[in-house]
Amino acid sequence: MSANKVYLLDGGTLVIDGYHAFWNRGPGGELRFPCYAILIDHPDGLYIFDTGYDHAHVERVLPFEKPLQTEAQTIPGQLATVGLRPSDINYVINSHYHFDHCGGNIHLTEACTLCHAKELEACASPHPFEMLGYSDVRFSPDISAKRGAPAEPALDIYTPKFETLTNDQEIAKGMWLFETPGHTAGHYSLMVELPDRRPMLFSADACYSKQNMDLMCISSFHLDPVASLQSMERLKELAEKYDAELFYSHDPASYPDYLLAPAFYS
Ligand code: 5PN
Ligand code: ZN
Ligand code: ZN
């Protein structure tokens, strides 16, 4: 058994500097890159791996990243293109809790939320240099309260159920989470098996782009640079072992070749 379909839900773009995307290498200058969520239609339910950024959050906290996101590129907008509502989603899996991967969680009010145990810990007590990355914690009313975020009335009705994981896990038949730490403490990459194609291996932020992989160059946003490189090596080994196709998280060069919803991989 495997998943039925995989949809990539476009979430707009952000700008960072080239020295952030390619640590200590550059070249510098504005780099605009895509963000997206992954919807998996599986016999066990509807799963979303990462949920992109929240436009209002980025405008308020990181306006220098110049977010471009239309209504159609929000999680509700993207789900509508495939005939779904946010409340239809059964599980949300977050590769990690950086704002550009969990901003849409708040829409998915009925879903059970999965992540690595270390990631939930890390975003509850970030290092000073991680504060901006972990700036959108509205997905957890408890962590929002602990971090001293102002109460937001809309969140009173949102009480997500958290399930934390450790180690590699086959969370449903043909859906694998692989530990790829370094970018953050509890980072997971996802592999999805499908009936009629090679498995899809979503690096998430363990590798932003094919160019990062080709250069073995990590981003400047990281907890542990050596672990980050080991995780990139691990992704290459996994792709080889399972004959999987790598999909990168923020890859302006590869993105035009990705199929976007309402089209799907099967
Ligand atoms: C896109 C982006 N911008 C800023 C940060 C950060 O401070 O940590 C991670 C991150 C990002 O992915
Ligand atoms: Zn990240
Ligand atoms: Zn990211």
Label residue 158 by pLDDT band (50, 70, 90). Answer: confident
Please report, for the domain that includes residue 9, its CATH number.
3.60.15.10
The number of distinct structural domains making up the chain is 1
Ligand 1 pocket, mutate which of 221, 223, 249 (most atoms under 8 A from CB): 221
Residue 149: the pLDDT is 72
In the predicted structure, residue 114 carries a pLDDT above the cut 70: yes
Joined tokens for residue 25: 């290498």
Kindly report the protein residue whose alpha carbon is nearest to atom 11 of ligand 1: 133
Q: Quick check: is 262 in a domain? A: no
Kindly report the protein residue whose alpha carbon is nearest to atom 10 of ligand 1: 133
Q: Quick check: is 264 in a domain? A: no
Q: Quick check: is 150 in a domain? A: yes
Q: For the chain, what is the mean pLDDT? A: 96
Q: In which domain, by residue range, is 118 found?
A: 5-257
In the predicted structure, residue 48 carries a pLDDT above the cut 80: yes
In the predicted structure, residue 260 carries a pLDDT above the cut 60: yes
Shortest-distance atom of ligand 1 to CA 98: 9
Q: Quick check: is 125 in a domain? A: yes
Q: Quick check: is 265 in a domain? A: no
In the predicted structure, residue 24 carries a pLDDT above the cut 60: yes
Kindly report the protein residue whose alpha carbon is nearest to atom 9 of ligand 1: 133
Q: Within 10 Å of residue 57's Cβ, how many Cβ atoms? A: 17
CB 262 within 8 A of CB 82: yes
Ligand 1 pocket, mutate which of 15, 16, 219 (most atoms under 8 A from CB): 16
Q: 170-177 long-range CB contacts below 8 Å, 24 or more apart?
A: 171/91, 171/93, 171/114, 172/3, 172/42, 172/44, 172/45, 172/47, 173/1, 173/2, 173/42, 173/43, 173/44, 174/1, 174/2, 174/3, 174/42, 175/3, 175/40, 175/42, 175/47, 177/93, 177/116
Q: Quick check: is 50 in a domain? A: yes
Q: How far apart are CA 38 and CA 177, in angstroms?
A: 14
Average pLDDT over residues 77-105: 98
In the predicted structure, residue 25 carries a pLDDT above the cut 80: yes
Average pLDDT over residues 54-69: 98
Quick check: is 88 catalytic? no
Average pLDDT over residues 57-84: 98
Kindly report the protein residue whose alpha carbon is nearest to atom 7 of ligand 1: 133
Q: Quick check: is 159 in a domain? A: yes
Quote the ligand 1 centre to 160 CA distance (angstroms).
24
Residue 156: the pLDDT is 57
Quote the ligand 1 centre to 132 CA distance (angstroms).
7
Q: How far apart are CA 233 and CA 256, in angstroms?
A: 25
Q: Of 50, 100, 205, 251, which residue is the catalytic one?
A: 100
Greater model confidence, 75 or 149: 75
Label residue 11 by pLDDT band (50, 70, 90). Answer: very high
Shortest-distance atom of ligand 1 to CA 35: 1
